[in-house]
Homo-oligomer: A and B are copies of this chain.
Amino acid sequence: MELTLTPLEFARRTRRLYPQREAVVDRDLRLTYEQFFDRCDRWSSILQGMGVVKGDRVAYIAPNTHAQLESFYAVPQLGAVLVPVNFRLTGEDFVYIVEHSGAKVLCVHADQLDAVDSVRDRMPGVERFIALEGAREGWEDYEALIADASPGFERPEIAETDLLTINYTSGTTARPKGVMITHRNAYMNSVGTLLHLRIELGQRYLWTLPMFHANGWTYTWTVTAAGGTHVCLPAMDPARVFELIREEEVSWLCAAPTVLIMLANTPERVRGDVPSGVHVVTAGASPAAETIERLEGDFGWTVTHVYGLTETTPFITVCERRPEHEGLSTRERGALKARQGVELITSGELRVVDDEGVEVPWDGRTVGQITVRGNVVMSGYYNDPEATEKAMGDGWFHTGDAAVTHPDGYVEIQDRIKDVIISGGENISSVEVEGVLLRHPAVLEVAIVGVPHERWGETPRASVVLREGETATEKEIIAFARDNLAHFKAPTQVEFVESLPKTATGKIQKYVLRGGASAVSRQ
Residues of A within 8 A of B (CB): 1-3, 5, 10, 12-13, 16-17, 161, 184, 191, 194-195, 198, 201-202, 225, 320-323, 342-343, 345-346, 348-349, 373-375, 377-379, 392, 397, 409
Contacts and interface: CB of A to CB of B under 8 A. Distances in A.
Contacts of A191: 191, 195, 345-346
B323 A375 contact: no
Given A195-B194, A225-B345, A345-B194, A323 B202 contact: yes
B377 A342 contact: no
B1 A377 contact: yes
B397 A1 contact: yes
Contacts of A194: 195, 345
B202 A1 contact: no
Q: Which of A10, A392, A409 has the most CB of B within 10 A?
A: A409
Nearest to A16: B409
Contacts of A323: 201-202
A184 to B, nearest CB: 7
B345 A10 contact: yes
Contacts of A377: 1
Nearest to A202: B323
A377 to B, nearest CB: 4
A2 B3 CA distance: 15
Nearest to A191: B191
Closest 6 CB pairs of A and B: A1-B377, A17-B409, A202-B323, A195-B195, A194-B195, A17-B342
Given A225-B345, A345-B10, A374 B3 contact: yes
A202 B321 CA distance: 11
A184 B10 CA distance: 19
Contacts of A392: 1
A251 to B, nearest CB: 11
A2 B401 CA distance: 22
